[in-house]
Amino acid sequence: MAAYDLSINGKIVRVETEADMPVLWAVRDLVGLTGTKYSCGMALCGACTILVDGEPLRSCVTTVSAVAGRKITTIEGLEGKIGSAVQTAWQDLSVPQCGYCQSGQILAATALLTQKPKPTDQDIDTAMAGNICRCGTYADIRRAIHKAADLVKRS
Amino acid sequence: MLNLFPGQPSRRDFLKTGAALTSGLVVAFTLPTGFAKLAFAQDAKAPNLDFSSAALPNAFIKISPDNSIRLIINKLEMGQGVNTSLAQLIAEELECEWERISCESAPVAPVYNATFMPTQMAGGSSSVTSSWDQLRTVGAMAREMLIAAAAEKWGVPAKEIRAENGAVHHPKKGSLSYGELADAAARQTPPSPIPLKDPKQFKIIGKSVKRVDAADKSNGKAIFSSDVKVPDMLYAVIARPPFGATLQGFDEKAAKKISGLKEIVKIGGEKVAFVASNSWAAMKARDAAKVQWKLSDDPLLSQDGLKKIFMETLEKPGTPVKTVGKPAEALQKAKRTLDATYEFPYLAHACMEPMNCTVAFDGKKAHIWAGHQMPTADRMAASKVLGLPPENIEVTTTYAGGSFGRRANKDSDFVIEASTLAKKFKKPVQVIWTREDDTRGGYYRPMTMHRVKAGVDARGRVSGWDHKIVGQGVMVGSVFAANIDKTGIDPTSIEGVDNTPYAIPDFQLQLQLMKTPVTTLWWRSVGHTHTAYVMETFIDELAAAAQKDPLKYRKEMIPKSPRHQAVLDLLAKESDWGKKMPAGRALGLAVHESFNSVVGHVVEVSLNGTDVKVHKIVSAVHCGTVVNPKGAQAQVESAIVYGLSACLYGDLTLEKGQVKQGNFHDYQVVRMPEMPIIEVYFVPSKDAPTGLGEPGLPPLAPAIANAIFKLNGKRVRTQPFSKGLV
């Protein structure tokens, strides 16, 4: 057991845990931020996606010790022009159905638009292939990413 | 009497008991939607059909002084959008502004029972269709009560008052907001009968209003049952046996070394619970324990034995379900006969949110948090475990991260486990299932086989149809198991075949129900998942044998259903059926009725060896009035993608009772790059709404199979295609 100071959504939070605890469990059970979800535990589904220094990572296989000192963004702390545009597009197009995968989808989409302000459908396929949606909202996600790109461009 | 199930030929199956609706009796109901008979111990008085009471609108509508309106939704929101579509029904008649509405999940109480059975449930694509009249009436009653309150306050006749946009208006007296009238309105007696709006005046129904939960599901605020946090809560993961296995032992010492582990508890059914202060510790402790099982040698629990026994059973006669005309003779006279055997595997629901449940119990009262489709039944199950009367158990129905039938468990498995542990610890306990637990934990779409022998005469018409189905029912373990044992017929195993709309004059259907230790459950569209495949691919074969175009053949074979005709015509038009396809691409077609709706798909497919690629799908849907076009389209897309994963990849295999698959690497599902382009067209209709959560699924796989035939001349009869095409 050790203490780790984690920078989460702009605040420093101290957690006491084993070094090998994945960030997903730290964020959900120790810090109480439940927007990031557990679904597969093996980095296969993307539901646990967070941003670490802006990069999308699967928090179910990233340990607390690996992210100490880095900037973690969870869905609750998503802000900025691109993140806000993505969330606006998601709501305007009523993208979520059950919603369980959408935190991960939104963060992955934000990371994509940060890298590629005008992604092609192929770019979307590649960037979003790691995020599973069992409700099948893929068409709406694609539409929302294009819409968010447009919103960012016009802002 | 309200028309709760439009399109049903008769109401004779509805509510068999009248005077017997008193507490404590077990009542049998046949659901007109095609569900099997379900029994529920009734903990309520009459079901929710008494519309003269003011209790009804008050239970569904809460108006605050600031004129914001909370609508209480009595169906689980599991992605299908009911909290939006049901809110639309109320809001339309209530005459309020959509933007001022928020929705909450209903507690368990008799007033929230489904309109067709004395229990709360969401499922069977029944929520909108069964609430269509009820919730519009609820909204209208509230509107009239607000008007009556204003009439009283102003001293004017109610008929001079108009309700609009969250306020009542009188030409001389001015306006009052609903918020100002809410208290007085709650005390009014609603008039009878209640006038409902002419659909021509709809402002909210029929519009693609934004989902009420879109914001919370986009900002991390939406609470699913696995997100529930209760002070002092313990977390548990449970080691569950492979099917037919018994517990041999585990390394308690190694488990106890894990920091955070509180206790290891043996609970019923060979299960071992690892209880800790956080779920990570619980999972680690279970891993460290290396639980050992003594595996079963039952041939039904290994893939080879299972297949062999099913195939043998397929050769023998089964329970007669339906006979029309003289099928044996007709087959004898046929010019050609076709004989096909079909295989369908066990399928997991694989919801994004694995199963879980939280229960708190202090000895006298309890609280359950779960995303359940049947909260009344789940509460009853918990009450038996906890030794509490149901009224002492508060139930919070949270959002569910998908369900597709898994969270409508007649055994209340996930609730009983958590209740058992809550009772032991007298602390809140959250039982978490890992993805592997979820994939291997049973309650599958049953493995099923069909055999069809059909003949065609010299003119290409069907001459005899002999159909046999072998598989487990999904009602095993329910109160009706005994009756199904007696009759040998589980309606969910034959739906889609026994009521086929195809004009087949000499037809015979038999069913052989199998019993295995593997647990089964309804899975999005239930029996239609396999019956539609058999019917729609076999009809295509018959069309080919008759040398007729598949679409024209179906139109000829379903002369008596205007809805099927309308769907086929719409499909023909929007898919440009019959157009010349580029090399390597083919169109396949299927149409199927389920849950009172008719859906057809035309799919565009290419093949790369055994890899099936679906490029585009054109869908035509007859589901009556469309409450929310965007939401309706989303449900058709959703059912398509769910069905696509199943027919391309879905396959659970058994080895000595152990399910080999465990996670998304070996139980593969469709991802973004595989998403086809989907166009959905609705047949314009003023009929009351019919089901839509499930009907998009059944015609998908057969449409793909019918396209594959055009590409490689092969009829695929085994699912998934990855296996069937090899």
Question: Which tokens sit at B268?
Answer: 């019923």
Cβ of A100 and B279 within 8 Å? no
Is pLDDT of B489 > 90? Answer: yes
Nearest-neighbour CA in chain A from B72: distance (Å)? 18
Residue from the list B77, B218, B630 with its beta carbon closest to the beta carbon of A87:
B218
pTM (two decimals): 0.94
**Which stretch of A107-111, B14-18, B472-476 has the lowest confidence by average pLDDT?**
B14-18
pLDDT in the model for residue A81: 97
DSSP B18: S
Nearest-neighbour CA in chain A from B75: distance (Å)? 13
Q: For residue B403, which residues of chain A lie inside 8 Å, CB to CB? A: 98
pLDDT in the model for residue B56: 81
Cβ of B401 and A92 within 8 Å? no
DSSP B389: -
Write out pLDDT tens, residues A44-102. 999 999 999 999 999 999 999 999 999 999 999 999 999 999 999 999 999 999 999 99
Q: Taking all residues of chain A, what is their mean pLDDT, rounded to a whole number?
A: 97
Write out pLDDT tens, residues B432-466. 999 999 999 999 999 999 999 999 888 878 899 99
pLDDT in the model for residue B483: 79
pLDDT in the model for residue B15: 31
Question: Which tokens sit at B375?
Answer: 């909260």
What 3-state DSSP class applies to B463? Answer: strand
**ipTM (interface pTM):** 0.98
Interface test with A, best of B218, B259, B434, B627 (most A CBs within 10 A): B218
Residue ranges of alpha helices (H) inside B199-342 are 252-256, 279-289, 303-315, 327-333
Strand blocks (E) in B86-127: 101-105
Residue B98's nearest CA partner among B203, B222, B226, B186 is: B203
Q: Which of the four pLDDT bands, split at 50, 70 and 90, describes residue B693?
A: very high
Average pLDDT over residues B184-210: 92
Cβ of A98 and B671 within 8 Å? no
Which residue did the predictor score with more confidence, B81 or B43?
B81
Average pLDDT over residues B228-247: 97
Burial of B195 (0-12, 13-18, 19+ CB in 10 A): exposed
Is pLDDT of B382 > 50? Answer: yes
A62 inside 8 A of chain B by CB: no
Supply the DSSP string of A1-15, one letter for each residue: -EEEEEEETTEEEEE
Q: Which of the four pLDDT bands, split at 50, 70 and 90, describes residue B698?
A: very high
Is pLDDT of B218 > 60? Answer: yes
Write out pLDDT tens, residues B99-111. 889 999 999 999 9
Q: For residue A136, which residues of chain B lie inside 8 Å, CB to CB? A: 637-642, 670, 675
Interface test with B, best of A39, A122, A128 (most B CBs within 10 A): A39
pLDDT in the model for residue B479: 65
Can you state the percent helix, strand and coil of chain A, rounding each to 5?
A: 45, 15, 40
Question: Could you give the CA distance from residue B118 to residue B501 in angstroms, rounded to a whole number?
Answer: 31
Residue pair B659/B242 in contact (Cβ under 8 Å)? The answer is yes
Q: Taking all residues of chain B, what is their mean pLDDT, rounded to a whole number?
A: 91
Average pLDDT over residues B54-63: 88
Q: ∠ at Cα B286 (B275, B252), nearest 5°?
A: 85
Cβ of A18 and B214 within 8 Å? no
pLDDT in the model for residue B14: 28
pLDDT in the model for residue B460: 79
Q: For residue B435, which residues of chain A lie inside 8 Å, CB to CB? A: 39-42
Cβ of A136 and B227 within 8 Å? no
Pairing relation of β-strands B448-456 and B462-471? antiparallel
What 3-state DSSP class applies to B465? Answer: strand
Average pLDDT over residues B476-495: 84
Write out pLDDT tens, residues B271-328. 999 999 999 999 999 999 999 999 999 999 999 999 999 999 999 999 999 999 999 9
Cβ of B353 and A37 within 8 Å? yes
pLDDT in the model for residue B27: 27
Residue from the list A21, A32, A40 with its beta carbon closest to the beta carbon of B280:
A21
Cβ of A96 and B217 within 8 Å? yes
Write out pLDDT tens, residues B242-271. 999 999 999 999 999 999 999 999 998 899
Q: For residue B226, which residues of chain A lie inside 8 Å, CB to CB? A: 34, 37-38
pLDDT in the model for residue B481: 76
Cβ of B638 and A136 within 8 Å? yes
Q: Which of residues 79-118 of A touch B (CB under 8 A)?
A: 87, 90-92, 94-103, 106
Write out pLDDT tens, residues B16-49. 322 222 222 222 233 333 332 333 333 333 344 4
Phi first, then psi: give them for residue B589, nearest 5 degrees.
-130, 145
> Cis before residue B193, ω within 30 degrees of 0?
yes
**Cα four-point dihedral sign B532, B538, B542, B543:** positive
